[in-house]
Every structure is written in structure tokens, then in C-alpha cells.
Amino acid sequence: MDRLALDVAHLLAGGLVLVSFMLLYQDRMTGLVNNFALHALVVSLSVAWQAHIQHAPHLYITAAIALIVKAIVIPLALHRIIVQLGIHRTIETVVGIGQTMLAGIGLVALSIMVMLPITAKAGTLTQQDLAFALSVLLLGLLMMISRRNAVSQVIGFMSIENGLILAATGAKGMPLVVEISVAFSILIALIVIGVFLFRIRERFDTVDIHALHQYRGEQL
Amino acid sequence: MALAGLLWCIGALLAISVAAIPAARHRWGTPAVYGSALCASTIGLGLALASLLGGGALLGALTLPVGLPWLGAHFRLDALAAFFLVVVNLGAAGASLYGLGYGSHEEAPGRVLPFFPAFLAGMNLVVLADDAFTFLFTWELMSLTSWALVMAHHRRPGNAAAGYLYLIMASFGTLALLLAFGLLAGPAGGYAFAAIRAAPPAPGVAAAVLVLALIGAGSKAGLVPLHVWLPLAHPAAPSHVSALMSGVMTKVAVYGAVRIVFDLLGVPTWWAGALVALLGGVTAVMGVLHALMEHDLKRLLAYHTVENIGIIFIGLGLALAFGANGMRAAAALALTAALLHVFNHSVFKSLLFFGSGAVLTATGERDMERLGGLIHRMPLTAFVFLVGSAAISALPPFNGFVSEWLTFQAILVSPALPQWLLKFLVPAIGALLALSAALAAACFVKAFGVTFLGRPRSDAARQAVETDRWSLATMLILAALCLVAGILPGYFIDALAPVVRALAGAQLPRQGELDWLTIVPVAQSRSSYNGLLLFLIIAFAAGLGAEAIHRWASGVSRRSAPWDCGFPDASPATQYTAGSFSQPIRRVFGSVVFRAREEVNMPPPGDLRAAQMHVRMRDVLWDAFYAPVAGLVSYVADRLNKVQFLSIRAYLTLVFGALVTLLTVLAVWR
């Protein structure tokens, strides 16, 4: 049982890293949002599995929030936004996909090299979970800086948050209230960013943040 | 216990400070705040005096459960702290009493009243602190409240820049002190002073701590070349605060230096003494030369603070040098001289700043070239200012003479030192001290003569009226103290004995029991001074001279010459001015020290324009130490300016890069 629990937890955490790579690779808007829904689904499964093996029923609530909000509500909202903005075409990347993937692999290696020695005293489960969580986090950051489109930056931001949830549930004893407040702050961030996206589009007829540059007043 | 009483006084001051925020809006707020601050600091003064003179019965230590959780706030009242508390609370009581009258002219009391009691509390707390954290915290409290007071009139030209420079220098000094305490505490982090005393640092560390402490305390006290902020910031504050900053806060800085160097560092080394004394000598001369070139009354006084700090540090340096060579009696002499000068300077510098404040309220002028003749309009202020000037110029029978004389006695013992460098250096420092004393006298002839004598140079000076009773009472008390300390120095030296014994391991022979109130610091055969006798002789001779002149000279009828006694033109502009008085000295020293250049623009023959004379002076120290740093900072800031205008993605990339770099370092390091 113990062995199986560990293996499944690894499978799910590793799966999350894999989906993060898929996010990096995906260059169509609709696909990206679907991928993000998958990302959230894997996180909620992983959290639920942690709840099961840690016998921590409050984690089921976290899993449910992740499932409902991030795997269903937010992707649906993003789909609506994309359709309304009319940008369900390809998205540009700054660096080529290949280089981005290579950088991502480097980041995963880095986070494993950092995390494994530091957490040597913790249990195997926590140790590997933290390494995977840091990878997801760095990949999300990489996505945020390698994309131009505001919508994909939002998705990168939320994938970072998924990495944080993974780290938080891997460590035992995280209070429920922290997770709930994090989840709600993400939801609110989405609403705010969504409103902003529309405002930006109304003003400048695009959501490509490069276009905003020339409007900055204080530029020398 | 006295310590608990003092802490209650400090608590009362902090409470007054909070209560002053709403009270400042009302008319009764100003007298209420200064009156209650006066009560608290008078009680503090009484407690500190009792603990200093009580022979150790009232001294003690206390730990309060505030501050760092594992450390607490340690407070300790020993003889050194008691002496400096006397200085602090005497100045504080004086400034509060003076503020009762002077504060009514304040146009924005809300900017002064809340910070004034907090400033007093801060200075008291620094002296009482007995662990590094409490010391630094209260030191910063003192700095920040005094900065707020400097910025009280921030709209006047120059004040904002002065406050900015003060803030930078104060932060820099605190940084140096922070590093010094960090080195003293060692890797184990024993921040309580008791733990530091128990484990004296290794010689190399001790040298670094000494330099850092000199930078930290010296930047607050005004040691050259860290003095640049002082003549700008001290005069910018309201006059009673200027008196506190110059007379008292610099002494708290001296306390910091004494506490670290004499108490915490353990056995001194002789080169430390040489360094401190040399810095002191240079500071004294540079301070007084700057003062001579200055025609703004308050800035002149602030430069004299720099000079007197130099004299104090000469005494401290000599005490270190003697102490390192085991010459305890000589170390006690030098330390007594330094500490007595601390007390004396706090008295007469407060008095002089109060006098300049009285002139400022009466005329609205600080520029001496627009004053003059005030002795007729403000006779009492002129009298007390004269007393203060004589005291700061080290003229007997006032107190300034005693402490400078003691410093010279310590210098005269120096040939007994074994190191050849010291044998040659100390007499040279003595020459610097003598030069600065002479120049100080010249400077105060200028300050008093141009401000109070002659004829008024402006309408404001012509219409001046004597200042209020509170201010006069304060100044008269301080002037009396200058005289008493000058004619009865033996009792003051005896009061310092427990402090000196604790720090130097020896004390001067008891002076109070000698016949005729003489003081004999070393031996009867070498030198002795009797202030009372000298006072009587001066008073007798002066009285006799005045009587003789009035009896025989004034009665004789005189015919005036056609040249009207040298005043053919009635314009006050024909009088001797501050600039003309200091011109010879500027020609002697200024061409080197200030790179002074004079330029005369003569109109061609036939042209009726007036000839013009320009003097250009540069601050060599500013050019050497501060201008390059300022240039470097603005260069780097210009280069970094671009970073302010990046896109969000570029910022994210920067964050990402920093994160990855740190993680890589972490991964490689392990």
C-alpha cells in the first residue's frame, strides 16, 4: 500500500510537470486553455490523493476548489474571453519553441539539484514533491516571460499557483484556511485581469502587450 | 532605585511627546509641553546628580522585556552613564526653560513640539542602554527625532538640503556602529554589553572596531572629515534645538565613543591613542578656521562645536595613549580634562546658542554683517553672550579655561611616553590645540564685537528689543554655572573621580580638600591653578581700572578734532565688519586650507562705478572626500535610470533571472 501510494503521488506530480511542458509547447489559444484545464485537473487529482494518503479530509476541499474553479470555471471563462476578443488563432512566442523546451528541461534539472540535497532529511514523498513543485513554478515563470499575449501570461501565472498548491499539500500540516484564501485570491486575480484585458482591448484594439509600450508616458 | 526613576522620567517624556500632537494646535500647548519636559528633565537631572555623587549606592542595572525576544532591553546606570545623564538633562532642562519663552515665536509648533520631548528621551536612553540592540535603536531614535526638528522649517532655503545631508550622514554613522557592534558581539551573537566585556576581541578585530566606532560616533559628533553636515543641520533647527544638538547630542556621540573604546574594547593600544588625538587636533583647527570664515552667527557657533569636539577627542586620545603604556595617573588626568570639557562645552555652547536665538527673535537676522549695536538694545543678552564667549575662548576665570588648561597639563606629561612617534606627535597636537584656542578667541572677538558693539547695520538691528524673561533666566543660570565651574573647578573634578577611576583605573588626587580652592592635577611643583584668586584679581584690577578712568579721564574736557573721531561719515557701513576682521587670518591660512582666491574688479579710470572685490573659497575636504562619492552615486543612478522604464515582461525576466541565478548558486554551493 505504502509503495503504491508513493508511486501514484509521483505519477501525479510528474504528470503535472509534463502538462507544464505541454503548456510551454502549445501555441494555439484554445489548446492552451484546454491544456490549462488539464493542468488544474492533475493538480486536483494530486491533492485528492494526498488527502487520501495523509488522512487529511480538509485537503478534499482544496481538491474540490481546484477542480471546480480552475479546471471548469476559469477555462470556460477564458474560452469566452478568447472568443469575444477574437484571438483563437496562433500565438507568438518570443523565443522559438525548441529553445523554450530546452530551457524548461534545464530548469527541471536545476530544481531537482537544488531541492534534493536541501530536503534530504524530509520524507521521500515531500522531497520529490517539492522538487516537482519548484519545476512547475519555474516553468510557469518561463511561460510568463516567453509569451507576448496577455491571456497566455494569465495562464502562466495560474500554473505557477498550481505549483504552489502542489508544494503546500506535499508538506503536512498546511492549514485549510491558507489554501482557501490562496484559491480565492487567484479567482479574484482572474476577474481583475479579465476586466483589464477588455479595457486594454477597447483602448488599443489588441491584447499584445508590445503594443502598450509606446503609450507609456514616463519613457525617456 | 535611581535607574527605575530615570526610566519613568523617560517614559514621561515619551508620553508628553504623544500628548503634544493634539496639544500643539492650542495656544496653551507650547508652555504645557515645555513646562512638563522641564519637570521631567529636572527630576532626571536630580537623579543623575545623586547617582554620580552618591558613591555608587544608587547605581544598578535593569532588564525590560521589550526589544529582541531573546535579548530584552538592558539598561545600566554606572558612573559614566550618570555623568553623561547630568550633561544631557542639564542641557534638556535649560532648553525646555528657554523654550517656554522662545517657543511662543514658533510659527509651526506642530512641527516642533511632538519631537522635542522624544528627542530628549532618545538621548537619555542612549546613555542608559546596556546592549547593542537597545543602543542602536535609541541612537536611531535620537537621530530621527533630531532630523525631524532640523526639518521643522523645511521651506526656508537650504534647510531641506541640510536635512538630507544629515540623514545620509546619520545613516552612514549608524551603519558603522552596527558593524562595530557586530564585530564586538562575535559569531556567537552576545549583544549584551556585559557579554562583550566578558570576552574582549582579538587585536585585529579590536582595531577594526576602533575605526568603525570612530566613524560612527565621530560622524555624529562632527570629527573632521565627517563634520560636513553639522554646520548645516545644527543652525537649521529652532535655536533651543540647535543648543541641544550642539551642546548635548554631540556629547552623546562622545559618550558612544568612550563607551566602546574605553569600556568595551578592553586594553587600548598606543597607536589608537595617537590616531584619536591626531584626529582631534586636526578637527579643532579645521573647525575654528571654518568658524572664522563664517559670518552667520549660528553657523559660526556650530563650527565651534566641531572645534570643541576636537579638543575633547585630543583628551580622549591622550588618555588612550597613556593608558596603553600603563601611565594611569596621566591617563586619569587626560580623561578628566576631556570629560570636564564635555560638561563645560555643553554649558557654554547652550548659552551661546540661546543668545543667538534671542538675537534671532529680536532682529530676524543671523547674518552678523546686518547686526551691530545690540548691546544698547539688549544689554542682558549681550552680557551673557560675553560670558559665554569668554568661556569658549578659554579665558580665566571661566570654565573653558580649566578644561583646556588640564588638557595642556596632560600634553606636558607626554615626554614620559616611551614611543618616539608619540613623543613627537603629542607636542605637535599641543601646538594645534594652542593655535585653535587663540583662533577661537579671535573668532569670538569677531562674533561679539560685530554683533553687539558698534552701530546697527540694519533697521532690524536698530529696532531690536530685549528678549523675554524665560530666556534671560535660562541664560543667566548657565552664565552663572560657567563662572562657578571656573572658580571652583576642584569640586567638579572630584565629581568626575568615580567615572575616571572606572575607565582609567586611577583618579586625580582629591582637589576639594586643598587649601584656598586651588587645583593641583599632577604635583605642586609642576603647576597649580586657583580660579577664585584669579577671579578676585581680575575683578579687583578691572574695578580699579574702571574707577580710575571714570575719576581722572572722563572728567577732563575734550575738544573734538575736525575728523569726528574717525567717523566723518555717519553711515554704519563704514564700520569694521566681520569680513574685514577675519581677512588677515584668511590671507594667512585660507589660501591653503580653503584655496581662497581674492579678485578685485577695478573700473577703468574715468568710470564712476564702485570697485568690486570677490573672495572665492572652496571646501577642500568636501572636494576630496564627498564630491567623488556624490559623483559616483549620481553616475550609477544615471546608468540605472534605464531600469526604471522597462516593460512588465522585462521585469519578470529580471526576477526570473535572479531566481534562477540564486538557485544555481545554491545548487553549486552544496
For B626, the domain range is: 620-669
Nearest CA in chain B to A146: B649
Query: Which of B645, B652, B663 lies nearest to residue A110, judging by beta carbons?
Result: B663
Candidates A118, A144, A213; nearest CB to B647 = A213
Element (H, E) at B386: helix B379-392
- Nearest chain B Cα distance for residue A212, angstroms: 9
Asked if A209 lies within 8 A of B648 by C-beta distance, the reply is yes
The angle, 0 to 180 degrees and rounded to 10, between the axes of the packed helices B115-128 and B29-53 is: 10
**Do the Cβ atoms of B649 and A148 come within 8 Å?**
yes
Segments of chain B with pLDDT less than 50 = none
Residue A122 placed within a domain: yes
Q: Which of A110, A142, A148 sits opposite B656 (nearest CB)?
A: A142
Closest listed residue to residue B245, CA positions, set B140, B91, B33: B91
Distance from CA of B661 to the nearest CA of A (A): 10
Helix axes B489-504, B469-487, angle to 10 degrees: 70
Closest CA to B89 of B347, B348, B476, B385: B347
**How do residues B369-389 score in pLDDT, each as one tens digit?**
899 889 999 999 999 999 999
Asked, for residue B106, whether it belongs to a domain, the answer is: yes
Q: Among B534, B554, B571, which residue terminates a domain?
A: B534
Helix locations, B458-530, DSSP H: 459-462, 469-487, 489-504
pLDDT of residue A219: 47
Q: How far is the alpha carbon of A51 from chain B, nearest alpha carbon, in Å?
A: 30
Q: What is the pLDDT of residues A110-159, one digit of tens each?
A: 988 888 777 777 666 677 788 888 899 899 989 888 887 777 888 888 88
Distances (CA, A) of B512 to A205, B329, B490: 93, 18, 5
Residue B272 backbone phi and psi in degrees, to 5: -60, -40
Residue B530: the pLDDT is 87
Q: Which residues in chain B have their CB less than 8 angstroms from residue A110's CB?
A: 660, 663-664, 667
Q: Which residues in chain B are contacts of A213 at CB distance < 8 A?
A: 647
Whether B457 is in a domain gets the answer no
Distance CA B93, CA B48 (A): 13
CB contact under 8 A, B659 and A138: yes
Cα–Cα distance measured from residue B480 to residue B1, given in angstroms and rounded to the nearest whole number: 31
Cα–Cα distances (Å) from A147 to A25, A210, B196, in that order, read 11, 11, 56
**Number of independent structural domains in chain A:** 1
pLDDT tens digits, one per residue of B166-218 = 999 999 999 999 999 999 988 877 889 988 888 888 888 999 999 999 999 99
**Domain stops at, among B478, B505, B534:** B534
Residue B150 falls within a domain, yes or no? yes
Say if residues B299 and B446 touch (Cβ distance below 8 Å).
Answer: no
Q: Tell me whether residue B373 is in a domain.
A: no
Residues in chain A: 220
What does residue B75 show for φ and ψ, rounded to 5 degrees? -125, 145
At B651 the pLDDT is 82
Confirm or reject contact between A213 and chain B (CB < 8 A): yes
Higher pLDDT, B308 or A171: B308
What domain range includes position A165?
2-215
Q: What is the pLDDT of residue B670?
A: 67
Percent of chain A with pLDDT over 70: 74
- CB interface of A with B, residues 96-155, below 8 Å: 107, 110-111, 113-114, 117-118, 138, 141-142, 144-145, 148
A114, A137, A152, A208: best mutation site toward chain B, by most B Cβ within 10 Å?
A114
In chain B, residues with a C-beta closer than 8 Å to the C-beta of A144 are 649, 652
- One domain for residues B512 and B628: no
> What is residue B160's predicted lDDT score, i.e. its pLDDT?
92
Same domain, residue pair B86 and B214: yes
Residues of A with Cβ-Cβ distance to B670 under 8 angstroms: 117-118
Bond before B397 cis per omega within 30 degrees: yes
**Which pLDDT value is given to residue B236?**
92
Backbone angles phi, psi at B597, to 5 degrees: -125, 130
Rg (CA), chain A: 18
For residue B79, give the C-alpha cell.
Answer: 558612573
Q: Does B23 reside within a domain?
A: yes
In a domain, residue B377? The reply is no
Instruction: State the alpha helices, DSSP H only, in A55-175.
Output: 58-65, 74-85, 97-118, 124-146, 150-170
Domain membership of residue A220 (yes or no) is: no
Task: Write down the pLDDT at residue A157.
Answer: 83
- The span from the CA of B616 to the CA of B313, in Å, is 31
Greater confidence, B652 or A187?
Answer: B652
Q: How far is CA A124 from the centre of its chain?
A: 24
B525 shares its domain with B626: no
Domain finish residue from B510, B534, B558: B534
Chain B residues in contact with A114 by the CB 8 A cut-off are: 663, 666-667
Q: If you measure CA to CA, which chain B residue comes closest to A208?
A: B649
Does A220 contact B670 at a Cβ distance shorter than 8 Å?
no
Quick check: B656 contacting A, CB < 8 Å?
Answer: yes
Task: Read off the C-alpha cell for B521.
Answer: 592635577
> What phi and psi values does residue B56 have, to the nearest 5 degrees?
90, -5
Could B663 and A114 be called an inter-chain contact, meaning their C-beta atoms sit closer than 8 Å? yes
Which of A202 and A16 is assigned the larger pLDDT?
A16
Contact B655 A141 (CB under 8 A): yes
Quick one: which of B154, B228, B216 has its CA closest to B184? B216
Asked whether residue B126 is assigned to any structural domain, the reply reads yes
Q: Do A141 and B659 touch (CB under 8 A)?
A: yes
Torsion on CA atoms A30, A32, A33, A35, rounded to nearest 10 = 120
Instruction: Provide the phi-psi class of B519: left if phi over 0, else alpha when psi is between -120 and 50, else beta.
Output: beta
**Which has more pLDDT, A96 or B236?**
B236
The backbone torsions φ and ψ at residue B76, rounded to the nearest 5 degrees and listed phi first, read: -145, 135
CB proximity list for B302: less than 8 A, separation 6 or greater: B230, B231, B234, B235, B242, B246
Nearest CA-CA distance, residue B643 and chain A, Å: 11
Cβ separation of A111 and B663 shorter than 8 Å?
A: yes
Helix%, strand%, coil% for chain A, nearest 5: 80, 5, 15
For residue B553, being part of any structural domain is answered with no
Average pLDDT value for chain A = 79
Into how many domains does chain B fold? 2
Calculate how close chain B gets to A12, using CA atoms only, in Å. Answer: 25
Between CA B493 and CA B515 the distance in angstroms is 15
Report CB contact under 8 Å: A110, B664: yes
Query: What pLDDT digit, counting tens, does each position of A150-163 carry?
Result: 778 888 888 888 88
Q: How confident is the model at residue A220 (pLDDT cuts 50, 70, 90)?
A: very low
pLDDT of residue B609: 86
